[in-house]
Amino acid sequence: CGYCQPGQIMIAAALLAKNRKPSDEDIDNTMSRALCRCGTYQRIRRAIHRAAQEV
């Protein structure tokens, strides 16, 4: 729905700035601060892993 997207992007960018190869646990712990109404947490995790490959 896009409601949480800006916050998810900012948190993910901060995570990747500190940790270029985050584990699933790193991602889950960091992203737990942003609630997603759609429940797309697994897709968000995959997107962060893909973004980590690009940086």
pLDDT for the residue 35: 87
CA separation for the pair 52, 48 (Å, rounded): 6
pLDDT for the residue 29: 96
Q: What's the residue count for the chain?
A: 55
C-alpha distances in Å from residue 35, one per residue of 20, 21, 40, 54, 55:
23, 23, 10, 25, 25
| pLDDT (tens digit per residue) in 1-55 | 788 899 999 999 999 999 999 999 999 999 998 888 888 899 999 999 999 999 8
